[in-house]
Structure 1
């Protein structure tokens, strides 16, 4: 449902507390105290059938007695009563509720699950939103609302905290209170029966009082909604997440290596990276991230300058920086010369800048000013160790004075316990991030630089995928049909190789035979040496049953190996059906690397892609990474470079680099396979040999589902190729029309540049001198689940001449549209044809209303909108824009 009616939850005019109490220590009494004392300016109405007044306020005995319809209700009554209360509230016009009560199936109890469903059914007719059940509640400092049983009301701030755990919420409130950190929202989601992380991210991404978002997560419910919301939120503000349950205990047993290796936490990690979120591993790191983000500082790289009065502390910081893959900034000659003038001769003359143990505040100030001007540094860490010959507070005061009202990327670390207490208080008061140890400080810098790196990855423009990729999806589907008709779910090696070949993945030629004698003849035909493999629809891992023999150099060796193989299989797997043998040429690629690539299904995020070091010891080595399809060249290369084996793939000593482009292309092809073939449950290519001459799959294993089975959809909607078409305008001109792609950035900018400044102004409501990467990327890197943009091109030319786009709200009911035709193509009918295409897509997508803001002077656009049935909306004051609206639902009727 997303953000519908969340305004009632976070900006209510009237609040009702159902289950309020005067009984000391009860949840109802604590809720009443917190609500009445938090500073909410609207009416707070209490309901309790046995009380005359709650905290000296008139109490009501039932929801029906309430004199006002509450926007928000807080419910703390026995679970059996909640569905009925929700229904009553909905009838009164209440639009949101926070259900504090537990007992709704948290322990997999059937009766509790039935109650939860009854509660949701009661809310559904009224579109009523529910937070919880089994939650701490919500705290909204800017609105003076403490609808929780937390022990502390936080200060006003610009950090939002969303958690599934009430205990974690109270812990972070306590931590933040001691450090003067405030919040815009604190929301405990509990069991997430309705409002979930996706809803919260959608809301908070657009909330002007929220500058950063912290999340404590145990599970995601709707993966596609979550990722769409997370990607949008991460483009606007930092999103930091800590997820509980990082072990592989949740991984199910699987027939393939990929299915076994793809533990659920690795998939969450991939999802967080793909969304541009920053993941931390512990609550301590989350707390530290909260403190760092609350200061508002940001970095644009991972190069750190360190200023310290203690050499040992500087070395500890350098070691931690190296462990976290950060880099020491290289100081320029001009900075070194400037420091030479300021500092004693014995200073370190390098980064870390050790200004010696007797450094007074003045020395700190001069050195810091020099480092702030160093272009090679993305941030400065200022450290202080207590010393009898220098004043730590004086040093801190000098740092504060040097910064003044500026907020550059400066972090501080005053070591010790008692001596630096006043200095830390000073830094906290001035919103300068401060830490107790070098490790904490470097961790904070790492969080900031990782967030920056994630944002860069989120906004990179990928190169176009090679047009040479030829995919024969029909052939792959035909193989799967035959296997299912045979009543099997595991493909034989020749069948698996046929599917890989259909997707352009190089495989080894092979001959399937029935008997040892036929194997002998096939080997002669192929030439020696050869590889012999057992061919059985019942054996998944051939090497486990002695079903693989390598480097057979003669006809006799092949025949003997086949005979021995049959005996071994009968002994180890007596029930397995043996269909014969697979004979392949022995591939000799000295120095080639063994890789593993795979596809599996995650119970939350659907299809996933695996890449890593392959071979029989793949599980033991554990060098692997998970990615979410669809992949483009940049995402595929990021997966490769995340693994340790990538260092070997780059080449070393006399070993040439492997063909990284071929590996990248194979990952992209595998991603397309995962998108296309929804009956593939698990797939392994192990090993994929990779060297300077390219790649080849030596073995493959594929598991499919029965025809009646259904998989989870891809967590990220892939490029909708089915929408590609050729359109024709009224004057007979034909155009290639397709959804926009990230690699269209350059062509789109060219279209803007070849349009008149006035046309650009009419489209963007402002004169735009240049189109930078961030601006263009936002227009081309769209979420196809929530946005669509069609580009029109002249046939045979990679030249965009028209664009029409729409962006839906998170509920996918309303959508804003925009259209632009290149100036020299205006008047050809292209704009009219693009609008027809947009309307058809909107109707097919179930969108109920289209709207746009149009400049009053844009008469051509207003006239075309009127021709399509858009209605201008009345406004009280004369404005520069007119909003035009088309209700598609009414038009369909």
Structure 2
């Protein structure tokens, strides 16, 4: 349902508290006092069947006795009464409720959980629910404190959304001491209705919110969360702390990949893919909040340090290097300017140590030079207390410089307790991010640096994508059909390798034989040494039971190895069925790296791609990273770079670097496999050997489910919708390929835009356009197919990422999936041939298919051609109060 009726939550015109109380310290009493003291200017109505006044306010004994229908209700009654209360509120027209009550998981009168009975009463009235079992909701712009928090936060531009009420109050307490304010604070509790995805949708466009902090215990609707988080993080910083980093939630798995892809690793990948910055601890969240509350944004990773104590500066440098930042280089010109205002004993480098007796004037002069010369991307000012200098005066000098350069990031660390406390308070009042230690300051700097890197990585342009033909997918499905028909959930090694081959992943040729003698005959055909592996449906890890022999030199040795293997496996796993052996050539790659790559299915986020160091020690070493499909070349490379083995893959000494293009291509193909073969539950390639000549899968294992649903949930990010690809023919007979846009189409799209006449671009973008920068092109090509769709017209045989693009049309839907705005652009030399009409017709067909009710757009009134096209398609002008140079048109759709 997304953000429908959220205005009643955050901007209500009237509020009712059901369950208000006179009992001191009770939840109903605390909420009543908070509501009345929060500054809300509308009516606050109280309901209690046994009271006549509470906190000096009149009380209604029943909901139907309220003087008016509340837009927002706060429910703090016993759990059993909640469904009935919600039913009454819904019938009166209440649009939203915050349910504080706990205990709604137990059965109600109908046998359903009380929470479900509550929702059954709310949904017919489109009534939104926050909670149950929550602290409540605070919105400072509206003066609403609908919570039992111990304090009302100061107004600010940070929003806090937390599953835990206790964590929310701890953050509010910490923030109050540091004079950090909030726009909204929402405790989600059990998330029966409103969840993280909904709140992110609302906060992404909320003008009162500049940054969002999340405390997450679990995500319920992964697809909705990923769509909302990706939109929100492009608009403003979103930081998250996720509890449960331990092995909790780990499940039994049939493969190394399944065992290694733990739930926390998947959450980490999901947050990164959404552009959200994850921090490890509450302290980190606090530090980031202190930075965000000032509006500071970091433009690069170079930090200049100004200090009156050398030791504190060295500590800051140590932390900076360990956390991935860079110490800024001081230029000769800047050094000369500093020489002119500092004593001869200053450090003449970075950190800029201005000596323990530094006066406020010395701080002011040095900082002004560092900021004016852009000596770094930010400056950290450190002050160590001394008896010969006034640290408050020094802080005011820093504030003066920072105000003179409001766009340059200045951070502060005033060390100490008694003397430093008032200084830090003064810095907070002046919106200078201030920290208690050099470590805290540097960590906060690198948090925002990581956020900036995440955003940059999301905008990377990938190489051309891979194309898996429909015939290859059908052949792979036939292999799976055969296993399921035999009542098997695990494919044989040669079946697994056949599927890999069909998806373009190099594999070593593998022969299945049933007897030792057949193994010997197969060995004689290899033309060299061979490898023997046991085949048993009862054995997952063959090497654990002596089921793998390498480098067998001859047919005679192969016969002996097979007979010995049968005995060894029988002793290690008595009763295990032995169907035979596989024989394959021995692959010798002296500089090859043994890696692992595969697919696992997460119960929340669906298929995930795992990569890391392989071999028998894979699970013990635990060097791995996870990515969420669909992957492209840029995302695959980033997944690889998050592992420790990535450094070895770059080459060292006389070992050349691996063919990274082939390696990333393998992960992209596994991503395609995870989407196109939803019955694959788990897939292992271990080892995947990589060297300068490419990659090759030496062993593979695939576990399957009888149906796509049996393999787990669908991908959390909607994959490329290839089903929308088709050929279109214009009225002059010209044929184009119509397909959804892809990230690798960035360059062709930019070329198309720049090939248009300036006047056509002005009419489309409603302003002159002289360039189409990377950030804009990336935003238009890296879209969320769940909420946005862009169709392009290319040549009939053009590969993914290849141009030219002749026209593009897009719609962007609202979170309710009810209405969408359209935009269309046809290359200037294609005008008048019907391409624009064909593109618009195609996007309208797509809008109808996805259930949209209305398409609308804005067109310059002088754009006569586009106005005529919209009329021909059935669009009508919308009535507006003022006549402007922009026409608003809309079209009601029928399914």
- In the superposition, the TM-score normalised over structure 2's length comes to 0.97
Q: How many residues align?
A: 889
Tell me the residue number matched to 1:636: 636
Quote the residue 2:732 is aligned against: 731
The secondary structure found in structure 1 opposite 2:450 is: helix
Aligned to 2:141, the other structure's residue is in SS state helix
Match of 2:869?
864
The equivalent residue for 2:860 is 855
Tell me which of 822, 828, 831 is aligned to 2:833: 828
How far residue 109 of structure 1 moved from its aligned partner, in angstroms, is 11
1:607-622 alignment, distance < 5 Å: 607-622=607-622
Distance apart, 1:773 and its partner CA: 1.7
Report the counterpart of residue 555 of structure 2 in structure 1: 555
**Residue deviations 1:818-856 (CA, integer Å, cap 9, x gap):** 112122211111111111101110111111111112222
Q: Alpha carbon RMSD of aligned pairs, Å?
A: 1.7
Pairing 1:186–2:191 present: no
1:602 match: 602
2:529–2:551 contact (8 Å) kept in structure 1: yes
Q: CA deviation at 1:471?
A: 8.0
Question: 2:431 matched to which residue of 1?
Answer: 431
Aligned to 1:514: 514
Q: 3-state SS of the aligned residue for 1:571?
A: helix
Contact 1:51–1:61 under 8 Å retained in 2: yes
SS in 2 for 1:727: strand
Note the C-alpha offset of 1:267: 0.5
Aligned partners of 1:796, 1:665: CA distance in 2, in Å? 22
Between the aligned partners of 2:567 and 2:22, the Cα distance in structure 1 is 81
Q: Distance in 1 between matches of 2:342 and 2:820?
A: 61
Distance 1:74 1:851 in 2: 37
Identify the residue that residue 325 of structure 1 maps to in structure 2.
Answer: 324
Aligned to 1:313: 312
Is there any run of 5+ residues in structure 2 with no aligned partner, and where?
Answer: none
Cα deviation code 1:662-702 (max 9, x no counterpart): 11111111111111110000111111111111111111111
Counterpart in the other structure of 2:645: 645
CA distance in 1, matches of 2:174, 2:598: 43
What pairs with 1:53-202 in structure 2 (closer than 5 Å)? 53-105=53-105, 114-202=113-201
Show CA shifts across 1:50-104 (max 9, x none): 2222323222121222221211110011111111111111111111000000001
Are residues 1:208 and 2:220 paired? no
Residue 851 of structure 2 corresponds to residue 846 of structure 1: yes
Q: Does 1:806 align with 2:805?
A: no
Which deviates more from structure 2 when the two are superposed, residues 362-371 or residues 200-209? 362-371
2: CA distance, partners of 1:376 / 1:583: 63
Moved more, 833-842 or 57-66: 57-66
Instruction: State how far apart, in whole Å, the 2-side matches of 1:638 and 1:331 are.
Output: 32
Residues 87, 466 of structure 1: CA spacing in aligned structure 2 closer, same or farther, 3 A cutoff? closer
Q: What's the CA shift string for 1:213-251, capped at 9, x where partnerless?
A: 000110001001101100100001000100111111211
Shift of 1:419: 2.2
Q: Could you report, residue by residue, the CA deviation over 1:330-362 in whole angstroms, capped at 9, with x for unpaired residues?
A: 222222222222222222222111111121122
Equivalent residue number for residue 333 of structure 2: 334
Does the C-alpha gap of structure 1 residues 17 and 240 become closer, same or farther in structure 2, counting only changes over 3 Å? same
Tell me the CA shift for residue 710 of structure 1.
Answer: 5.2
SS in 2 for 1:34: helix
How big is the shift at 1:274? 0.6
Measure the CA separation in 2 of the matches of 1:309 and 1:441.
16
Moved more, 379-388 or 596-605: 379-388
1:715 counterpart = 2:716: yes
**Residue-by-residue CA offset, 1:370-404 (whole Å, 9 max, x unaligned):** 22134451111111111223222222121112222
Deviations 1:268-304 (A, max 9, x none): 0001111111111111111111111101101012111
Alignment of 1:655-804 (within 5 A): 655-707=655-707, 709=710, 711-796=712-797, 798-804=803-809
- Where do 5+ consecutive residues of structure 1 fail to align? none
Secondary structure of the equivalent of 2:581?
A: strand
Partner of 1:51: 51
Q: Distance in 2 between matches of 1:74 and 1:834?
A: 49
In 2, the alpha carbon distance for the partners of 1:754 and 1:550 equals 59
Residue aligning to 2:360: 361
Structure 1 position 310, deviation (Å): 1.1
Counterpart of 1:244 in structure 2 is 243
Contact persistence 2:334–2:375 (CA under 8 A): no
Separation of aligned partners in 1, 2:161 and 2:675: 32
Report deviation, 1:575.
Answer: 2.8
Aligned to 1:459: 459
Checking the alignment, whether the CA contact within 8 Å between 1:471 and 1:504 is kept in structure 2 is no
Q: Residue 612 and residue 111 in structure 1: after superposition, are their counterparts in 2 closer, same or farther (change >3 A)?
A: farther
Offset of 1:44 from its aligned partner?
1.1
Q: Decide whether aligned partners of structure 1 residues 112 and 232 sit closer, same or farther in structure 2, where only a CA change above 3 A counts.
A: farther
Cα separation, 2, equivalents of 1:597 and 1:5: 45
8 Å contact kept, 1:530–1:583: yes
SS of 2:392's equivalent in the other structure is helix
- The residue aligned with 1:30 is 30
Q: Using the alignment, how far apart are the partners of 2:722 and 2:168 within structure 1?
A: 44
In 1, are the aligned partners of 2:414 and 2:435 still within 8 Å (CA)?
A: yes
Distance (whole Å) between structure 2 residues aligned to residue 75 and residue 109 of structure 1: 17
Please state how far the C-alpha of 1:415 moved relative to its aligned partner: 1.0
Change (3 A) 1:862 1:33: same
The equivalent position to 2:820 in structure 1, one of 806, 815, 819, is 815
Match of 2:264 in 1: 265
- Is contact 1:96-1:130 (8 Å) kept? yes
What CA deviation, in whole Å up to 9, does each residue of 1:605-652 have, x standing for no partner? Answer: 000010010111111111111110111111111111111111111111
Do residues 285 (structure 1) and 284 (structure 2) align?
yes
The equivalent residue for 1:526 is 526
How far, CA to CA, are the matches of 2:375 and 2:878 in structure 1?
53
Aligned twin of 2:274: 275
Instruction: Tell whether the 8 Å contact from 2:203 to 2:232 is kept in structure 1 after alignment.
Output: yes
Shift of 1:772: 1.6
The structural deviation recorded for 1:405 is 4.5
CA distance in 2: counterparts of 1:679 and 1:635, whole angstroms = 24
What is the DSSP-based 3-state SS (H/G/I as helix, E as strand, rest coil) of the residue aligned with 2:522?
Answer: helix
TM-superposed CA distance for 1:470, in Å, is 10
CA contact (8 A) 1:104 1:113 kept: no
Query: In the alignment, is residue 346 of structure 1 matched against residue 351 of structure 2?
Result: no
What is the Cα deviation at residue 479 of structure 1? 0.7
1:405/1:92 CA distance change after superposition, 3 Å? farther
User: Whole-Å Cα distance in 1 between the matches of residues 340 and 703 of structure 2?
Assistant: 70
CA distance in 1, matches of 2:110, 2:359: 69
Aligned partners of 2:704 and 2:711 also within 8 Å: no
In 2, the alpha carbon distance for the partners of 1:370 and 1:75 equals 58
Write the distance in 2 (CA, Å) between the matches of 1:779 and 1:211: 23
Does structure 2 retain, via aligned residues, the 8 Å contact 1:331–1:374? no
Counterpart secondary structure, 1:180 = coil
Shift of 1:862: 2.1
Separation of aligned partners in 2, 1:829 and 1:86: 54
Q: Distance in 2 between matches of 1:186 and 1:329?
A: 38
